[in-house]
Amino acid sequence: MKYVINDQLALTVAPEGPLAALIVPFAKSVSAQGYSLYTIDRQLRLAAGFSLWLKQKKIECHQIASYHPEQYLQFRSRQFRYRPDDAAALRHLIGFLRSERVILAEKVSVPQVTEVKRLTQAYKQYLREARNLAEPTIAYYVPFIRHFLNDRFGNGAVTLSHLSARDVVRFVQRQASRLHRGRAKLMTTALRSFLNYARYRGEVVLDLAAAVPAVANWSMPSIPRAISADQAHLLLESICCQTAVGRRDYAILLLLARLGLRSGEVAFLELEDIDWNAGTLSVRGKNGLRNAFPLPLEVGNAIAAYLRDGRPTSTSRRVFLRARAPTRGFLSSSAVGSIVRYSLKRAGLKAPTYGAHQFRHGLATEMLRQGASLEEIGDVLGHRHPQTTMIYTKVDLEALRTLALPWPGGVQ
């Protein structure tokens, strides 16, 4: 006799064991995450089999440990073909049991916190709270500082007052030769930031930030790789907007191409960030501050089409959600990069790169060629410093002739 879960799911026999009463609540939990009926059915069968195995092993709910699912899968593989998603299904079950407090999270031994780790954590908090830097920027800075401190102090005591200009110069000289110029520049910027922080703490008296050497020949080293306007047009035309995924990807690509947003700004965009009445879009930039953009009609229509006919039902406030279960917002900006890469390959376009940033460069390049000033381009891209926008002066020298300032005292 079948054991009915709901009007669409049923097990061939009633579940047995310590988890039997939790099979139906588990089914509701998995269903709410947007999984297909086929996937839910497989997860329920594994859960029922796991419960029966626990009964046979005389293991009660409170005795379930993280290694039991692996033992059960080894036992099950003697009767059924192993599938790669079986382990993930049981992890979902264990997560559900912990969320329901049926089993407690296992205690994990806390690794010893070294002085280097303690100091880098304090520096990270300073960047986040006092400097209000964006999380991606912090994530770039901290590994360089950890490496610097480990290189100088190892596992011993960290005494910042013992740092000297020689330590700083020696570290930069060794590392710069191994790094790309962009990474080397980032390393020296991070190092100056940390040394200023050390001075702010009162542990360093000298201005060691001034001792950080410049990496030779990095200023405006290359023209940004930008997708052309024609390629961006062909890419957008290649997207099929008859499907939910197509409507989502089309709206994402339009935000990149028309507004020059960064991938993280698109990935973490929330419903409240769109003011439909005013026709504006508010995004949190790299500096942590919010920037307001006018919402072009074309972009607004694309987002509205996705929200109306493509976005899955979810409690998430993110504008763009995963197409596959679990239904939620993107975990990182790399998801937007993956959409760009997949769309370019599917369209058969040989763009300068497969990343999302090329749209930002493409917008700036096109604006420059249309006669926009560097200040206007910087405003659109949300640049805080004019030097950041200056790299686009290499793009089109003819366009820049109209922007050139007269040489003081006459032509030289």
Cis link prior to 18 (omega < 30° from 0)? no
Q: Which of 68, 146, 248, 357 is catalytic?
A: 357
Which residue among 262, 311, 322, 361 is the active-site one?
262
Active site residue 262: yes
Among the listed residues 311, 322, 360, 361, the single catalytic one is 360
Say which of 286, 318, 328, 341 is annotated catalytic: 286
Catalytic residue among 35, 72, 123, 392: 392
The yes-or-no answer on residue 346 being catalytic is no
Cβ atoms 246, 212 nearer than 8 A: no
Find tokens 């190892």 and name the residue: 154
User: CB within 8 A of 412, min separation 6: which ones?
Assistant: none
List, by residue number, the catalytic residues. 262, 286, 357, 360, 383, 392
